[in-house]
Amino acid sequence: MEMEKALVTGGAGFIGSNTVEKLVERDVEVKVLDSMYLGEPENLGKIRDKVEIIEGSVLDQGLVDEAVEGCDTVFHLAAKSSSPMHKQDAAEGARVNIEGFVNVAEAAEEHGVEKVVYASTSSMYGSVKPPHEVDSGEYPMNLYTASKMSRELYAKTYSVQTDVQFTGLRFFSVFGPHEKAKGKYANVVTQFLWKMQKGERP
């Protein structure tokens, strides 16, 4: 039986590297596409020699096309992954989060990828009180959320117009191994833990 193949964009980053580890554990052949803006090859640790690492941006359409070719599934986790990060350069944030998504979606259609799993955000729910429903959000609270909302709209459209299945994950407060490289952009839970480790008040 042929080994399943997957591409993880942002695969050397926090969530990406943890995803890669789990895929390798399941004997999936993995490619990693990462610009190394926040990702670090060291995050892949002992499995580094078990994956193909492609250094580059999701904005490079040709490189994305090359990386997607031959894959059954794409985990699209490359993004400006927080509001402060997006706010630093809104135009660049929009390009990475929206244009980068379109590049991945186009390549997925071109190469017959079965499924694209992509990162969205819990910010989509706005300030509504729980329990949250998928469509219970308000207008975007910031440009970062707007970019992720755009991703979801593109995903819905591609799902209708192509044979590729798109699944968006609205991450809440994710924390865990390999988040160190994000520094001040790390999840607030992680920042609290770092402060407590230093004996500081969160």
The residue from 144, 154, 158, 185 that is catalytic is 144
The answer to whether 144 is a known catalytic residue is yes
Cα-based distances in Å from 30 to 20, 72, 92, 104, 181: 7, 10, 28, 16, 22
Burial call 124-155: b when 16+ CB within 10 Å, e when fewer: bbeeeeeeeeeeebeebeebbbbbbbbbbebb
Q: What is the 3-state secondary structure (H, E, C) of 182-195?
A: HHHHCCHHHHHHHH
Alpha carbon 122 to chain centroid, angstroms: 14
Longest dimension (CA), the chain: 54
Return the active site residues.
144
